Structure 1
Amino acid sequence: MPDNDRRGGGSDDQRERILSEAVKLLAEAGPSGLSTRAVAAAAGVQTPTLYRLFADKDGLLDAVASFGFESYLAEKRAFEPSEDPVEDLRRGWDVHVEFGLANPAIYMLMYGNVRPGHRPAAAAENRAILRGMLERANVQGLLRVPVEAATVAIEASTTGAVLLLLAQSEQARHAQLIRPLRDIVLDAVTEQATSRAGDRSPIVDRAQSLLGIVTPAGDADPVTDAGFSVFEAGLLREWLGRLTEVYRPADGSDRRSR
């Protein structure tokens, strides 16, 4: 059966038109109004065409999330790092919150309808960008915790805070309400560069950097993948963690000088 595409065009044109109409429907009717039949009708194609391009409804939802999230990701990809990685993390937090409040339907599709074991491509890319920012801070010795732990803490706090605001009436969604949370979380996982310049130990810096590298990411463990046992991998990470504590007392002095 020929495709009843009222406006012609190739697969790329059809795909973009379907996504554009799906984003409009999402904003107007929310996720519940985003049926494949409604999207196909709005885009002027038959439903089989939609399935040919996106495989199934989950594929369509992922593509819609990425398509709607593209302006945010483009801004994050073009993010110009400053000399202060911690300040860059604050800027990144603010960009994330502003996008969520300005695009509630897309944000809810991305983060409000979580399927265990599944992460939309746009969310995965956003996580990779955040992790890259944290890796940079870690190399400079500005992380108090491993990169993966900092990634989870920032992800959980940003998305949770935005979803909390989106549950309020539109008039009550003020970004400044969650600004203290931003500062609390970032202060807990990072250190200001200026506070570390005089008393930073190179042992701590190197141990923290190596700990970030050997910390498992998802199902991958770089240490066991290199041939070490699970016990050896755990012992290595424990020793690196202890090094960061032994050489960084609470008063900021260096134990090696005692």
Structure 2
Amino acid sequence: MTLEAGPHAPGGASTGRDAVRSRLIDVAADLLAQQGPAAVTTRAVAAAAGVQAPTIYRVFGDKDGLLDAVAERAAQEFVAAKARAARDEAGRGADPLEDLRSAFFAQVDFGVANPEVFRLLGDPARVLRSGAARAGLAVLRARVHRVALAGRLRVPEQRCVDLVQSAGTGVIQTLLATPAGERDPQLAASMWEAVVAAVLVQDTASAGAPAAAEQASAATLVAFRAMAPELPGLNAAERGLLVDWLHRAEAAAHD
């Protein structure tokens, strides 16, 4: 007996196909986590799921399509949790920098705990076609935007997004490439501090008065650029023009 959906399957063929698809993803994810990508063969997945091997090709196109689905589901679950946390944080007026910090460490923890999924999601071609990856990036951008609105960001928002994302990915790759017993437990914290030093306004004591004043000026420009699209009293064309001016000024300040 297989999991194939027949014409009289409860809920209809579509529901049956969805159940088969979900079961195949479950099985492939288990094999991936327990034995690595080499174990995720069409024969092994089909046998464990109780279906014929051609079912995988009908549902996913090929083995790579199945791996895409495994990575996408894991990413969707992680991103959904991040999005809920981000909404809760914004709703209670939490410190935007602490929210961004928590998200950074959550990303690192997820990658280290799910190495095979991380490697799948680290494939640039897979990321480009991943809806979950785009959703995750949107959550990160929203968090960075809140830091900018608070007047604490002295670099363009996109640069901060790129730095946070790159730093997290680099930490995960380094930790996974190091034997578990030899990993530096402070690596993520040190990388986070490096990102903070590169993107945030520093106090006068650590930056020196002239540098602190320059950073404060840059942060004001970034904050104004962040709030410009929502400024009241302007029509769409005026807002667009203001945003363009501020974008050019921001870019010139960081050339």
TM-score (norm 2): 0.72
Counterpart AA for 1:93: F
Question: Which residue number in structure 1 is paired with residue 114 of structure 2?
Answer: 103
| One-letter amino acid matched to 1:237 | H
Q: Going by fraction, where is helix more abundant, 1 or 2?
A: 2
Aligned-partner Cα distance in 2 for 1:138–1:64:
35
Contact 2:2 2:52 in 1 (8 A): yes
Name the amino acid aligned to 1:122.
A
Q: Measure, in 2, the Cα distance between the counterparts of 1:77 and 1:122.
A: 11
- Which runs of 5 or more residues in structure 2 are unaligned? 10-15, 206-212, 229-236
Match of 1:23 in 2: 29
SS of the residue corresponding to residue 142 of structure 1 reads coil
Specify whether residues 70 and 208 from structure 1 end up closer, same or farther in structure 2 by C-alpha distance, changes over 3 A only: same
Does the CA contact (< 8 Å) of 1:154 and 1:185 recur in 2? yes
Query: What's 2:209 paired with?
Result: none
Per-residue deviation, residues 39-83 of structure 1 (Å, max 9, x unmatched)? 222212223322332233333222101223344223212213153
Per-residue deviation, residues 71-107 of structure 1 (Å, max 9, x unmatched)? 4223212213153111111111111111112222211
Cα 1:178–1:202 shift into 2, 3 Å:
closer
Determine the C-alpha separation between the residues in 1 that align with 2:127 and 2:174. 23
Q: How far does the alpha carbon of each residue in 1:175-233 deviate from its partner, in whole angstroms, 9 at most, with x for none? A: 4233111111123112479x9xxx8999866631464589xxxxxxxx9xx79xxxxx6
**In 2, Cα distance between the equivalents of 1:44 and 1:192?**
59
Moved more, 203-212 or 22-31: 203-212
- Runs of 4+ in structure 1 deviating by more than 6 angstroms, as ranges, are 199-203
Gaps of 5+ in 1: 215-222, 228-232, 246-258
1:156 and 1:67 map into 2 onto residues whose CA distance is 22
1:149 corresponds to:
159
> Compared with structure 1, are the counterparts of its residues 202 and 165 closer, same or farther at alpha carbon in structure 2 (3 Å cutoff)?
closer
Number of equivalences:
221
Q: State the TM-score, normalized to the length of structure 1.
A: 0.71
Superposition RMSD in Å: 3.5
Sequence identity, in percent?
Answer: 34
User: Is it true that 1:93 corresponds to 2:89 in the alignment?
Assistant: no
Task: Tell me how far apart the structure 2 counterparts of residues 125 and 63 of structure 1 sit (CA, whole Å).
Answer: 16
Once residues 83 and 242 of structure 1 are traced to their aligned partners in structure 2, the CA distance between those partners, rounded to angstroms, is 32
